């Protein structure tokens, strides 16, 4: 009789236990949810604080005398980040700030398009003319060759590292010929044009001597334009001999001896020792995600693939390694 329990008491006890466990689980879940929210809120506060501090520091720097910096990095072509469009946007942003006391153009490029280089050259000269109190100095990093040196020569002074590669004042035509390959494959080229030079230097046809002469004249004209710009920029500092405009490039040490550069310094040294300022503000234009994705993917693929295959030759001011 002592061990007797009413029917249903065990079931009630089990149900109570289940309810209590359920309530404990709900309480634990609530605590974890509040804890997660607290951690996320804390992280958000830290990020906002850091963002505020960065913006505050940037605004303080922008309102104080400082040196501007614009990077020109990589091959100079319209579809690349080192394009005249992006470079000039950086110049526009820099010169809007009245607290800028000097500008450094930091260059690390093997060259590229003569047209893009000339756009940049003209923009630098235009801003120099309108703002004669703001000195522009070019600083060469690993390479400042061909079209990149074209741009650098627009600056009042040029500095480099003793081991930088500088110069390569020349023009090249870049393409291939596939005539022999087609003959071996038993394939003939069928090209119909209206205009005797419309198939100018077609890579699948034998070279036309008259067209080769025409191309050489074009290259010589572009080369002379390059030479004139360098002479105008460097003036009497440039030591001219048979090699100066031959397309050769030199180390920084050799470039200084030839008057292609004025001395040895990094961008930081130029800011501190020449402009006498510690504050440097980077005005390099960085395209946003939409610009990177939307504008140039299709055009780039359409242009660069034929160029890589030698089907779309181009004229460049660029240093080329064998």
Are 88 and 56 within one domain? Answer: no
Are 136 and 251 within one domain? Answer: yes
Interval 171-190: pLDDT, tens: 988 777 777 787 778 887 78
User: Is the per-residue pLDDT at 249 higher than 80?
Assistant: yes
Are 59 and 73 within one domain? Answer: no
Residue 6 domain flag: no
Long-range (24+ apart) CB contacts under 8 A made by 218-225 are 218/315, 219/171, 219/172, 219/173, 219/315, 222/114, 222/171, 222/315, 222/317, 223/170, 223/171, 225/114, 225/118
Confidence band of 256 (pLDDT split at 50, 70, 90): very high
Interval 137-155: pLDDT, tens: 999 999 999 999 999 999 9
Residue 2 domain flag: no
User: Is the per-residue pLDDT at 135 higher than 70?
Assistant: yes
Confidence band of 47 (pLDDT split at 50, 70, 90): confident
User: What is the pLDDT averaged over residues 213-218?
Assistant: 93
pLDDT at res. 292: 58
Are 129 and 226 within one domain? Answer: yes
pLDDT at res. 129: 95
Are 179 and 80 within one domain? Answer: yes
Are 218 and 306 within one domain? Answer: yes
pLDDT at res. 66: 96
Are 143 and 29 within one domain? Answer: no
Residue 282 domain flag: yes
For residue 30, the enclosing domain spans: 15-63
Are 107 and 28 within one domain? Answer: no
Confidence band of 194 (pLDDT split at 50, 70, 90): confident
Are 116 and 28 within one domain? Answer: no
pLDDT at res. 2: 52
Are 109 and 134 within one domain? Answer: yes
Average pLDDT across the chain, whole number: 84
Domain count, the chain: 2
User: Is the per-residue pLDDT at 262 higher than 60?
Assistant: yes
CATH number at residue 104: 3.90.226.10
| Neighbour-count burial of 121, counting CB atoms closer than 10 A to its CB (0-12 exposed, 13-18 middle, 19+ buried) | buried
Q: How far apart are CA 116 and CA 138, in angstroms?
A: 17
Interval 290-315: pLDDT, tens: 665 544 554 444 455 455 444 556 67
């Amino acid at each position: 009789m002592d061990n007797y329990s009413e029917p249903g008491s065990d079931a009630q006890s089990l149900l109570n236990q289940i309810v209590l466990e359920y309530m404990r689980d709900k309480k634990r879940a609530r605590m974890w949810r509040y804890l997660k929210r607290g951690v996320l809120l804390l992280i958000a506060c830290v990020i906002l604080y850091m963002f505020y501090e960065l913006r505050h520091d940037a605004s303080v720097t922008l309102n104080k005398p400082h040196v501007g910096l614009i990077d020109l990095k990589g091959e100079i072509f319209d579809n690349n980040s080192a394009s005249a469009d992006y470079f000039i946007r950086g110049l526009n942003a820099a010169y809007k700030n009245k607290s800028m006391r000097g500008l450094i153009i930091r260059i690390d490029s093997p060259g590229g398009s003569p047209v893009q280089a000339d756009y940049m050259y003209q923009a630098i000269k235009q801003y120099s003319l309108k703002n004669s109190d703001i000195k522009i100095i070019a600083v060469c990093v690993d390479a400042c060759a061909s079209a990149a040196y074209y741009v650098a020569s627009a600056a009042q002074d040029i500095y480099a590292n003793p081991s930088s590669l500088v110069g390569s004042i020349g023009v090249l035509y870049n393409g291939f010929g596939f005539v022999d390959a087609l003959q071996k494959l038993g394939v003939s080229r069928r090209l119909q044009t209206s205009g005797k030079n419309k198939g100018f230097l077609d890579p699948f046809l034998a070279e036309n001597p008259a067209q080769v002469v025409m191309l050489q004249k074009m290259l010589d004209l572009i080369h002379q334009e390059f030479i004139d710009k360098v002479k105008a920029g460097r003036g009497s500092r440039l030591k001219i001999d048979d090699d100066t405009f031959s397309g050769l490039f030199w180390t920084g040490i050799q470039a200084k001896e030839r008057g292609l550069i004025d001395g040895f310094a990094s961008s930081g040294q130029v800011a501190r020792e020449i402009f006498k300022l510690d504050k440097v503000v980077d005005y390099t234009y960085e395209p946003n995600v939409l610009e990177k994705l939307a504008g140039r993917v299709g055009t780039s693929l359409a242009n660069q693939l034929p160029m890589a295959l030698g089907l779309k030759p181009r004229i460049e001011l660029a240093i080329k390694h064998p």
